[in-house]
């Protein structure tokens, strides 16, 4: 069974940091692009960041550039999202995503999704 399991969400004050992780299992995700989306209350799910299977290519939403960093471990089956200088508008459920094709991943047409982890940033 394919699973993407997120961890690391929580409550943090504005200006603080959080590190999300997503562990993949059930198939060979080492050859998959992986990424993060988020969905705030009353809003549509939006792209945050993605990383290629090799880790050599990354892509960020404008809202994440300069503050968030996506990375993956050497085994390439765990992906991380380091979030710094958090703002109240970053409050959302963050979802891990994966697909063999990065072009599908960055537009949310990927095949696999995690269940989400809540990030709340207080002002």
Q: What is the DSSP string of 67-119?
A: TEEEEE-TTSSEEEEEE-S--GGG-EEEEEEEES-HHHHTTT--SEE---EEE
Task: List pLDDT tens digits, range 6-37.
Answer: 999 999 999 999 999 999 988 788 889 999 99
C-alpha–C-alpha distance, residues 79 and 72, integer Å = 4
Mean pLDDT of the chain: 95
- Percent of the chain exceeding pLDDT 70 equals 100
C-alpha–C-alpha distance, residues 119 and 70, integer Å = 16
């Amino acid at each position: 069974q394919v699973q993407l399991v997120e961890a690391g969400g929580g409550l943090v004050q504005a200006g603080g940091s959080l590190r999300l992780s997503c562990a993949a299992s059930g198939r060979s995700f080492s050859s998959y692009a992986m990424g993060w989306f988020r969905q705030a209350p009353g809003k549509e799910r939006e792209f945050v960041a993605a990383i290629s299977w090799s880790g050599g290519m990354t892509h960020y939403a404008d809202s994440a550039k300069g503050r968030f960093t996506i990375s993956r471990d050497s085994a390439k089956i765990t992906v991380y999202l380091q979030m710094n200088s958090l703002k109240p508008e970053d409050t959302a459920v963050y979802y891990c995503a994966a697909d063999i094709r990065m072009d599908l991943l960055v537009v949310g047409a990927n095949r696999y999704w995690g269940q989400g982890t809540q990030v709340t940033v207080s002002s």
